[in-house]
Structure 1
Amino acid sequence: MPDHPENRKRALRAELRGRRRIRTATEREAAETALTQQLVQLTSDLRATFIAAYLSTPDEPGTRDFLRWADGHGIRILLPVSREDGLLDWAPYDGEDEEQDILGMPTPTSELLGPIAINGVDLLLVPAACVARDGMRLGWGRGYFDKTLGSMEGGPPVYAVIYDDELVDAVPTEPHDMPVDGVVTPGGIVSFSRG
């Protein structure tokens, strides 16, 4: 079944991973500086005082400067911690030590608050491999954020953080895939209308 959505997703993820790995340190630094400005703008526009975000890995668009800015401006921040049951726990950002969760993703060492801790956040920032112009998000294949998004009826605005060239015309989808409300890239903020 070469045309099955999961096979197309796997191929697209591999291509995007490859593109991310060949970005130079200079490109990454410039992207993080610009991305930080866009994330500050979005947070300010939404008047968010409580957000859920994530610690970026070296290949991802950088979120750490933004997290330091948000923390310095008194914004409460929760970060995800992967659980073995496929759900996400959440822990407060404290700007201190980090460890790796069961997937090897960077997480805070602060107290775990459980999956429902993000109820009440004003903004949810999520990672993505890419996002289509209709708002469909292609994640990295583990389903953690799709489960979280699927359980949040009437939740906060959800924005994926990606590089400019990762906003694409279409992505392969399956029934469990969840859309986002917009994307934040180094080049700007794009919001999707929900009909």
Structure 2
Amino acid sequence: MPSDEEQQKRALRAELRERRQLLSDSQRESAAAGIGAQLDALLTAHGARSVSCFLSTTTEPGTHEFVRRAVARGIRVLLPVTRADGLLDWAVADDNDDVSEGLYGLPEPTGEVLGPIAVNDVDLMIIPAAAVDRDGTRLGWGRGYFDKTLGSMEKCPPVYAVIYDSEVLDSLPRELHDQPVDGVVTPTQTIVLSSSRP
């Protein structure tokens, strides 16, 4: 039987998913522009030459333009590729924009696939989330890909979750396997959190 935390998470995910689906096209475009500007500034602030980032779905704050600009600036961008065993492979973004549909209908790159340890070399990780609280607890979408990835890294770089402004919450249910993040990026701000990640 699911724990109280898992039941709370499921209810919250359903509410957040519904809220995202109600956004208009112009709200999504405006959010994507804001996210891009915040992420550009984050790269500069960290002096990042290599980052991992996800390709957003239609309901997530848009990351595609940011990835294009980062590649054009000569930054190495690793994009996640889902695997059936719950781990993530990675592919290096290039300027051809070829995207296919991966597991769960997620947009994924079509280039050469690198193994799970490829992400160990990045200076900064930009990951998806449903919500994040003020302590750095991240609510994902329930498949555990990023929790597994972060939990298995020997030396984890700073990790920032991309969400909408309304998804920065005061507190979230947290389970043992949940990996915290160091900050959040929203369309209007970047917040550094005091995460309890070792």
Name the structure 1 match of 2:130: 129
The residue number in structure 2 matching 1:143 is 144
Alignment of 1:2-81 (within 5 A): 4-81=4-81
Aligned length: 195
Distance in 2 (CA, whole Å) between partners of 1:98 and 1:2 is 35
Please give the per-residue CA displacement for 1:48-95, whole angstroms capped at 9, x wherever unaligned.
010000100000000011111101100000000110110000011123
Deviations 1:6-46 (A, max 9, x none): 11000000000000000000111111111111000000000
Structure 2, unpaired ranges of 5+: none
CA distance in 1: counterparts of 2:9 and 2:45, whole angstroms:
33
Q: CA deviation at 1:2?
A: 8.5
The answer for the alignment partner of 2:87 in structure 1 is 87
Distance change >3 Å, CA 141–CA 2, structure 1 → 2: closer
- 1:160 alignment counterpart: 161
Task: Look up the equivalent residue of 2:64 and give its one-letter code.
Answer: R
In structure 2, distance between residues paired with 1:187 and 1:104: 28
The verdict on how the C-alpha distance between 1:7 and 1:184 changes in structure 2, with shifts beyond 3 A counting, is same
> Whole-Å Cα distance in 2 between the matches of residues 144 and 194 of structure 1?
19
CA distance in structure 2 between the partners assigned to 1:102 and 1:133 by the alignment: 31
Displaced runs of 4 or more, over 3 A: none
Gaps (5+ residues) in structure 1? none
Supply the distance in 2 between the matched residues of 1:75 and 1:28 (Cα, whole angstroms).
25
1:190 aligns with 2:198: no
Q: Distance in 1 between matches of 2:24 and 2:164?
A: 13
Cα distance per residue 1:142-183 (max 9 Å; x no partner): 000000010113211000000001000111111110100000
- Inter-partner Cα distance in structure 1 for 2:167 and 2:3: 21
Query: Structure 2 matches for 1:84-123, cutoff 5 A?
Result: 84-95=84-95, 96-123=97-124
Residues 127 and 160 in structure 1, CA contact (< 8 A), matched pair in contact too: yes
Alignment partners' CA distance in 1, 2:145 and 2:163: 17
Contact 1:94 1:108 in 2 (8 A): no
Q: What letter is aligned with 1:16?
A: L
> How much is the aligned-residue C-alpha RMSD, in angstroms?
1.3
Partner of 1:149, secondary structure, is helix
Overall identity of the aligned pairs, in %: 56
- Provide the secondary structure at the position in 1 that maps to 2:12: helix
Q: Is the 8 A contact 1:132 1:167 kept in 2?
A: yes
Residue 176 of structure 2: aligned partner: 175
Deviation at 1:193, TM superposition (A): 2.1
